[in-house]
A and B are shown apart, each in its own frame.
Chain A
Amino acid sequence: QVQLVESGGGVVQPGTSLRLSCGTSGFSFRSYAIHWVRQAPGRGLEWVAVISSDGDNQYYADSVKGRFTISRDNSKNTLYLQMTSLRPEDRSVYYCAREISSGKHFDSWGQGTLVTVSS
């Protein structure tokens, strides 16, 4: 079955960097655009970034543009999120999610990884 598993979360200080990973299995990874979506504690879902199936195109939410970089390695079936200049407001559970292109919706989600930014 389709599986997405996030890793790499943790506690970091403001201004530092962190890289998240999303390992996948059960589907043809190279055929799908994949997203990062985050959720601050007790808050709603916030879309973060998307990368096209071939990795050539990336789009970001204004709140992370210029600080976060989404990338993928189709040979390893893995998605990444490089986060720099982290702020306390970046504290969230970060989910990776698979997009179905026909409807621009997310049909499969990982379990999430928690990022805490605190001094």
Chain B
Amino acid sequence: SYELTQPPSVSVSPGQTVTITCSGDKLGDKYASWYQQKSGQSPVLVIYQDDKRPSGIPERFSGSNSGNTATLTISGTQAMDEADYYCQTWDRSSYVFGTGTKVTVL
């Protein structure tokens, strides 16, 4: 079965840039999406189709996808961005989530 691997955790200082990677076999040939999940809340879509932002998502969230790696970048990170982040893709009628990355804003 298809797998997506993310680093378990990353930390960032307020105002700095943080990058979260998501690795999967030939992931660049598929669409990648990203979800933010704050403690005790439901997931929220922040990036879809590799690099598109839904309405209402701040411009500081951006995405890319090439080769075997999709990337979520948060520029000018704010305290409110502290959350778990999951990548997601689709492979042969199966939907796959990444292992998740906890972003801590120090």
Contacts and interface: CB of A to CB of B under 8 A. Distances in A.
Contacts of B90: 104
Interface of A is mostly: strand
B45 interface: yes
A107 B48 contact: yes
Contacts of B54: 107
Interface in A90-114: 95, 97, 100, 102-107, 109-112
Contacts of A62: 1
Which of under 10, 10 to 19, 20 to 34, or 35 or more describes the interface residues of B?
Answer: 20 to 34
B23 interface: no
Nearest to B44: A109
Contacts of B33: 103-106
A106 B100 contact: no
Given A105-B88, A111-B42, A112-B42, A47 B49 contact: no
A104 B54 CA distance: 14
Contact of B35 (A45, A59, A104): A45
A107 B45 contact: yes
Contact of A102 (B42, B49, B95, B99): B49
A44 interface: yes
B49 A45 contact: no
A11 interface: no
Contacts of A104: 31, 33, 89-90, 95
A45 B97 CA distance: 6
A95 B99 contact: no
Interface string B94-106: 1111111000000
A52 B58 CA distance: 31
Interface of B: 1, 31, 33, 35, 37, 42-45, 48-49, 52, 54, 84, 86, 88-90, 93-100
Interface of A: 35, 37, 44-47, 50, 59, 61-62, 95, 97, 100, 102-107, 109-112
